[in-house]
């Protein structure tokens, strides 16, 4: 009978003991192909795609209008230019606004453009640089630097 030649009677223990667990094997004697695969001994834990968070950046206004500031004090920490530097206010490379002269903070908003400016009004009043004084001297009389 052709059917009996395809399926050979055998012991299951024989099939398992002759074949390595780590590799796949094909039994060619009876025409029956069996593939053995190694299975996991431990289940894998599910991974989450969330579970990360960045540190807080502490942005915002640090010195409010009317507060006294000294040179180097940070007035506003910001991303981009929500506030623009005005008189006696400098801007860092990360758009942080800081004080350049001792005085009081003043915020200003332009009515037409809506742009917000931060100024520092000096304590001793506005002192002009000697180049901009009213009694201007000709360039020939000025000393070379």
Residues near 15 by beta carbon (within 8 Å), at least 6 away in sequence: 27, 34
Q: Would you state the pLDDT for residue 48? A: 76
Question: Using one digit for the tens of pLDDT, what is the confidence trace for 58-87?
Answer: 999 999 999 999 999 999 999 999 999 999
* pLDDT band with cut points at 50, 70 and 90 for residue 54: very high
Residue 124 has pLDDT above 90, yes or no: no
Q: Would you state the pLDDT for residue 31? A: 63
> What is the pTM (predicted TM-score) of this model?
0.55
Residues near 117 by beta carbon (within 8 Å), at least 6 away in sequence: 83, 84, 85, 86, 107, 108, 109, 110
Q: Would you state the pLDDT for residue 26? A: 53
Domain at 60-125: CATH code: 2.40.50.100
Question: Using one digit for the tens of pLDDT, what is the confidence trace for 16-49?
Answer: 666 555 555 555 556 666 777 777 777 667 777 8
């Amino acid at each position: 009978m052709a059917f009996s030649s395809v399926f050979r009677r055998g012991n299951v223990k024989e099939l398992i003991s002759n074949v390595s667990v780590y590799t796949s094997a094909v039994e060619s004697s009876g025409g029956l192909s069996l593939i053995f695969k190694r299975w996991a001994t431990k289940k894998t834990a599910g991974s989450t795609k969330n579970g990360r968070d960045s540190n807080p950046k502490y942005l915002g206004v640090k010195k409010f209008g009317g507060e006294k500031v000294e040179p180097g004090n940070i007035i506003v920490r910001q991303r981009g230019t929500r506030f623009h530097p005005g008189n006696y206010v400098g801007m860092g490379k990360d758009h942080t606004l800081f004080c350049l002269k001792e005085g009081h903070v003043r915020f200003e908003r332009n009515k037409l453009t809506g742009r917000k400016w931060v100024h520092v009004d000096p304590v001793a009043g506005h002192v002009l640089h000697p180049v901009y004084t009213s009694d201007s001297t000709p360039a020939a009389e000025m000393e070379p630097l």
